[in-house]
Structure 1
Amino acid sequence: MTTTATALIRTLIVDDEVLARQNVEALLRSDPDISVVAQAGNGLQAVEAIREHRPDLVFLDVQMPGISGFEVLARLPATLMPQVVFVTAHDQFALQAFEVHAVDYVLKPFNRARFAAALGRAKAAVRSLDREELARRLSDIMVALQRLKASGATEEGIATARPREEDQRLFIRCDGEIHMLAPGDILWIESDGDYVRLHSTDKSRFVRMSLQKMMERLDPKHFVRIHRSTIVNLRHMKKAGPALYGEYSVELSNGMKLRVSRTFVHELKAHL
């Protein structure tokens, strides 16, 4: 549904937590372009509220009693399809949020600056999209949900089947936003306290995740643990050789040299 440059953007807030809805409403209240027309506490209420109030924009929680935020969108006709910003504490839904072409994806807890950035993009999208584009987005959502089901995704949004290598994308939360990385661009990964540092071809990024959890998200054909605190991408390994005291070292395509501990040297040799 389109709106003029001066018309108020009719907005619906959907979250099963009362305090979360109140927080979003408080942040929206100061924006003169926004009119909060209703709130909903679960997915079924959200569908009814969208049918009744025909909002331009919905701040939508993903995991709710009854039906999920994605199922809410799947039940809407193209003529009622709103612009969407997902608001959730569950970063495992990041892939699905991107697949259904959300304007943005805000992870709880978020600060005013992050919310303002998401709102600004949402407002611009509301004013630029027409009915034909909204209908296309609904079709994309249905295709995405079918793809997730076929790949073995659970209702909680965690895929149980590893996608084909050519389809793999790595979604990570960094600096309050979701970033997409091609695994092939990652050179090596090191643990740093409660974080891991991803060293890729363009830059390094801190991600709040254990090294083991990160390893579980990567293809074991290409990513090998060479130290209790280090994972290396074999596609960027230039050479490997013995070092002092029975250890090995590897040199990457960018010239970086990494130590292979005796504990993990056999695992590396098994891939060479």
Structure 2
Amino acid sequence: MSIIFKANPELEDGEVNVIVEAAAPTPAVAELMRSVEAIGQSASGSVAIETSNRLEIVRKSAIVAIAVQGDDLLVRTTTHSLTTRNRLVRLMAKLSPRDFVQISRQVVINLRHLESLEASYSGNMTARLSGDIRETVSRRYVPALREALEA
């Protein structure tokens, strides 16, 4: 692998373009692109969450878990919980895939707040998070969670 810096005076201050070149789109190339994207997404340390009556700025590192509840999302932080009408996939797009992992169709957790995993019935697991929060890890998502923990 070679890394080359090329100045481009046409770019705005703070704007960066990254081009990945390879002979073929391999898994290693895809992982590199995900890593670069994660760095770009995590550059901002906070995310805006729109509640019913205001817009709250929340530190990404303070988010413990995000869960779908009906038509709403419950965002649990280290200090409080917020309810928003946002969609899970849209909020996940603002978060670093290195830190935030989907553990079921309806729940995303911050790996930095994961304290332990316990075996549960029928192949599921229970994730114990900071703040005494517990979430069920669907057996379908266990392999991806294990992979994220090894990275």
Give the structure-2-normalised TM-score: 0.70
Give the alignment of 1:175-254 within 5 angstroms. Answer: 175-254=52-131
Structure 1's 207 and 252: CA in aligned 2 closer, same or farther, altered over 3 A? same
The 3-state SS of whatever aligns with 1:263 is coil
1:261 maps to 2:138: yes
1:180 offset after TM fit, Å?
Answer: 0.6
1:150 corresponds to which letter in structure 2? E
Select the structure that is richer in strand: 2
Mapped partners of 2:60, 2:104: distance in 1 = 19
1:269 is paired with a residue whose SS is: helix
Other-structure match for 1:53? none
Deviation at 1:221, TM superposition (A): 0.2
Question: Distance in 2 between the 1:198 and 1:235 partners?
Answer: 15
Deviations 1:102-127 (A, max 9, x none): xxxxxxxxxxxxxxxxxxxxxxxxxx
Amino acid at match of 2:15: A
Query: Matches of 2:67 and 2:41 in 1, distance apart?
Result: 25
Task: Kindly state the Cα deviation for residue 211 of structure 1 after the two structures are TM-superposed.
Answer: 1.2
Change (3 A) 1:193 1:249: same
CA offset at residue 175 of structure 1? 2.7
Give the aligned partner of residue 150 of structure 1: 15
Matches of 1:201 and 1:246, distance apart in 2 = 29
> Counterpart of 2:91 in 1: which secondary structure?
helix
TM-score for both structures, normalised by structure 1: 0.40
Pairing 1:128-167 to 2, within 5 Å after superposition: 150=15, 163=40, 165-167=42-44
Question: Are 2:116 and 2:127, in contact at CA under 8 Å, matched by a contact in 1?
Answer: yes
Q: Distance in 1 between matches of 2:87 and 2:16?
A: 25
Residue type of the alignment partner of 2:132? G
Provide closer, same or farther for how the CA distance between residues 164 and 225 of structure 1 changes in structure 2, counting only shifts above 3 A. Answer: closer
Deviation at 1:151, TM superposition (A): 6.0
Offset at 1:198?
0.3
Deviations 1:54-108 (A, max 9, x none): xxxxxxxxxxxxxxxxxxxxxxxxxxxxxxxxxxxxxxxxxxxxxxxxxxxxxxx
For 1:233 and 1:262, locate their aligned partners in 2 and report how far apart those are by CA, in whole Å.
Answer: 18
Which gives a bigger RCO, structure 1 or 2 (Cα 8 Å, sep 6+)? 2
Distance 1:253 1:230 in 2: 15
For residues 173 and 165 of structure 1, what CA distance do their matches in structure 2 show?
19
1:174 corresponding residue in structure 2? 51
Percent identity among equivalent residues?
A: 25
Shift of residue 266, structure 1, vs aligned partner: 1.0
Pair 1:151–1:203, CA change in 2 (3 A): farther
Structure 2 Cα separation of the partners of residues 178 and 253 of structure 1 = 25
Note the residue ranges of structure 1 that are not aligned, 5 or more in a row. 1-145, 153-160
Larger Rg: 1
Gap regions ≥5 residues in structure 2? 1-11, 18-36
Relative to structure 1, is the Cα distance of residues 151 and 181 closer, same or farther in structure 2, using a 3 angstrom cutoff?
A: farther
Alpha-carbon distance in structure 2 between the residues aligned to 1:151 and 1:241: 42
Rounded Cα–Cα distance in structure 2 between residues aligned with 1:255 and 1:176: 28
